[in-house]
């Protein structure tokens, strides 16, 4: 039994190159709406993005921009009702998951695509030990014996640098600190060695110092295992060190997608520009923070034209009439703004 364990453990590194090249996970023209008593909220309105092996895609947006709902749709954990997928595809290794049987999808969860949640306290089951919840996957999905599963679970806890992993195995979630709990959550999501990891605001609930540690750990594990990672966040600061590409979402759409350096250097969408400007900077101390005026649109009643136009400082009449499509604006970057070229070409 132990050789199997060893071979499995060494699998990611050895296998990483052997994975099918190209698009590992693709989301295409996804549309999701929430049907509630008070009306239909169009939460996702044609989202397209992809992530490849060994790459980190950061999905950035305010709360309500649809970034988490997209992730839930990929995982197949969207609450239905009220949430309904009305259009689009979610392809994993080229196969549309939305058309798969429930059983097929289940097998992908954990092993193909795994997820880390924001609030580790409520995301972990309060009445089972942390160890049990990790070992459970080895027992149910890999058919291991209790003893072997426990051994592997302790190894996982060790990998995410939880001190005294063996002792912590039998602690309950509420006995962990926030940072340790998020580490345990990471250990749990990586247990089955997934090809894609979706991290939904993994550090939002944590202290700033702990945030950095967790992000470092995630980055390290992602490189080690050559996983594709989708990092969902509303915090531009978190993204910079870890992400390769960034997709910015607004009102259920991708408004800009770019290489992380390009995006920071020269945003091609006024919304991204606004986000970058609203980060407090040391060289601008004493000045008023520049914020984006107004509120995100009501998803039950999205304004015609560009959804950002009521808040946009550059808005022109055309913005109120035509929805700007997401178009290429240079190598490997795209923007959904009528004036994207002007933004990119200015100094």
Partner 1 sequence: MGRYLLRRLLQLVPVFIGTTFLIYWLVWSVPGDPFAGKCGERRCPQQYVDFMTDKYQLDQSIFVQYATYMKNLFQGDFGQTFGGRSINDIIMTSYPNTLKLAVVALLIEAVIGLGAGVLTGLRRNGFLDNLVLVSTLFLLALPIFVIAFVLQWLLGVKWGIVTPTVSSEMRITELLVPGFVLGSASMAYIARVARTSIAENRRADYVRTAIAKGLPMRRVVGVHLLRNSLIPVVTLLGTDLGALMGGAIVTEGIFGINGIGRQVYRAIVTKESATVVSIVVVLVLVYLLMNLLVDLLYAALDPRIRYE
Partner 2 sequence: MSDPSTASIVSTPRAEQPTETVSPVGAPQGDRKEKPRGLLGDAWLDLRRKPLFWISALFILLFLLMAAFPQLFTSGDAVNGSLDRSLGKPSGDAWFGYDFQGRDVYARVIYGARASIVVSVLSVLGTLLVGGAMGVIAGYRGGWVDAVLSRVADVFFGLPFVLGAIVILTTFNGSGTSNSQWKIMGLVTVSLIVLSWPVVMRLMRSSVLSTKEADYIVAARALGAGTGRIVLKHLLPNCLAPLLVYGTIMVGSFIGAEATLSFLGVGLKSPVVSWGIMISESQSFIRVSPSLLFFPSLFLVLAVLSFVMLGEAVREALDPKLR
Least distance (Å) between residue 295 CB and partner 2: 7
Which two three-digit tokens encode residue 167? 């002792």
User: What SS3 string covers 119-151?
Assistant: CHHHHCCCCCCHHHHHHHHHHHHHCCCHHHHHH
User: Rounded distance, CA 31 to CA 12, Å?
Assistant: 33
CB of 306 to partner 2, least distance (A): 17
Residues in 98-117 that interact with partner 1 by CB under 8 A: 102, 106-111, 114-115, 117
When binding is defined by CB under 8 A, the residue of 24, 144, 165, 188 that contacts partner 1 is 188
Min CB(300)–partner 1 separation in Å: 22
Least separation in angstroms between CB 283 and partner 2:
34
- Give the three-state DSSP class for 44: strand
H runs (alpha helix) in 146-286: 146-159, 165-168, 178-190, 208-225, 236-242, 260-265, 270-277
Among partner 1, partner 2, none, what binds residue 227 when CB lies within 5 to 8 Å by partner kind?
A: none
- The answer to whether 299 contacts partner 2 (rule: CB under 8 A) is yes
Cβ neighbors of 258 (< 8 A, separation 6 or more) are 245, 246, 267, 268, 332, 333, 334, 335
| Among the listed residues 128, 164, 220, 279, the single contact to partner 1 using CB under 8 A | 128
Q: From the list partner 1, partner 2, none, which binds 318 (C-beta under 5 to 8 Å, kind-based)?
A: none
Return the residue of 4, 11, 140, 295 that touches partner 1, per CB under 8 A. Answer: 140
Binding flag, residue 298, partner 2 (CB under 8 A): yes
Nearer to partner 2 among residue 202 and residue 296 (C-beta): 296
- Which one, 35 or 106, has the nearer CB to partner 2? 35
Report the alpha-carbon distance of residue 299 to residue 170 in Å, rounded. Answer: 44
Please compute, for residue 126, the number of CA atoms within 13 A of its CA located in the half-sphere on the CB side.
Answer: 4
Q: Which residues of the shown chain bind partner 2 in the complex (CB under 8 A)? A: 34, 36-39, 41, 43, 63-64, 295-301
């Amino acid at each position: 039994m132990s050789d199997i364990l060893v071979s499995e453990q060494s699998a990611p590194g050895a296998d990483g190159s052997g994975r099918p090249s190209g698009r590992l996970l693709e989301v295409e023209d996804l549309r999701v709406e929430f049907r509630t008593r008070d009306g239909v909220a169009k939460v996702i309105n044609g989202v397209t993005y992809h992530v490849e092996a060994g790459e980190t895609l950061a999905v950035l947006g305010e709360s309500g921009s649809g970034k988490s709902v997209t992730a839930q749709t990929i995982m197949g954990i969207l609450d239905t009702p009220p949430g309904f997928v009305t259009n689009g595809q979610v392809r994993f290794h080229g196969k549309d998951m939305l058309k798969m049987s429930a059983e097929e999808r289940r097998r992908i969860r954990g092993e193909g695509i795994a997820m880390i949640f924001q609030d580790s306290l409520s995301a972990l089951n309060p009445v089972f030990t942390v160890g049990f919840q990790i070992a459970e996957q080895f027992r149910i999905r890999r058919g291991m014996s209790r003893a072997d599963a426990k051994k592997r679970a302790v190894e996982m806890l060790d990998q995410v640098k939880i001190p005294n992993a063996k002792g912590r195995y039998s602690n309950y979630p509420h006995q962990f600190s926030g940072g340790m709990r998020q580490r345990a959550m990471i250990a749990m999501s990586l247990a089955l060695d997934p090809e894609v990891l979706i991290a939904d605001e993994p550090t939002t609930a944590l202290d700033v110092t702990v945030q950095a540690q967790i992000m470092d750990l995630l980055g390290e594990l992602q490189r080690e295992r050559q996983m594709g990672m989708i990092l969902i966040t509303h915090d531009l600061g978190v993204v910079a060190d870890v992400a390769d590409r960034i997709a910015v979402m607004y009102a259920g759409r991708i408004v800009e997608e770019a290489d992380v350096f390009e995006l920071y250097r020269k945003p091609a969408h006024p919304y991204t520009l606004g986000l970058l400007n609203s980060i407090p900077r040391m060289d601008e101390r004493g000045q008023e923070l520049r914020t984006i005026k107004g509120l995100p649109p009501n998803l039950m009643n999205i304004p015609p034209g560009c959804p950002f136009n009521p808040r946009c400082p550059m808005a022109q009449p055309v913005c109120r009439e035509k929805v700007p499509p997401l178009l290429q604006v240079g190598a490997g970057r795209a923007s959904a703004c009528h004036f994207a070229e002007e933004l990119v070409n200015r100094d």
